[in-house]
Amino acid sequence: MVTSANEKMLFWGDISHLPSIQLPHPGATIELDVYPDMAIASRRRVLAESVIGGYAIGAAHLPFPGIGHVKKDGDGYGWVAVEYGAQGLKS
């Protein structure tokens, strides 16, 4: 977690390997989840905390540029990427 003034950015490693599946269905696992029950619990906790805290997220395995926010979407979550253009990132 990086904090600047009142803004916070959380950096993820392998919270989600397949965001198009694991964000809307955080209980989904893949073979890389060596400890599936622990992976599910961690994913659900981090996703919920990301929404509640309103954190900006920087993460591997997410669409370019890999920076954005998590939103609650039904029983799962969705991804809102920051805009990226010639002037850099826009929030």
Q: What is the pTM of this model?
A: 0.87
- Tens digit of each residue's pLDDT (9 = 90 or more) over 18-67: 999 999 999 999 998 999 999 999 999 999 999 999 999 999 899 888 99
Query: Which sequence spans correspond to the domains of the chain?
Result: 18-62+70-79
- Both structure tokens of 20: 């198009």
Asked if residues 28 and 48 have their Cβ atoms less than 8 Å apart, the reply is no
Q: Which residues pair with 81 in a beta bridge?
A: 68
Give me the helices (H) in 7-83, please. Answer: 19-22, 36-53
Asked if residues 8 and 23 have their Cβ atoms less than 8 Å apart, the reply is no
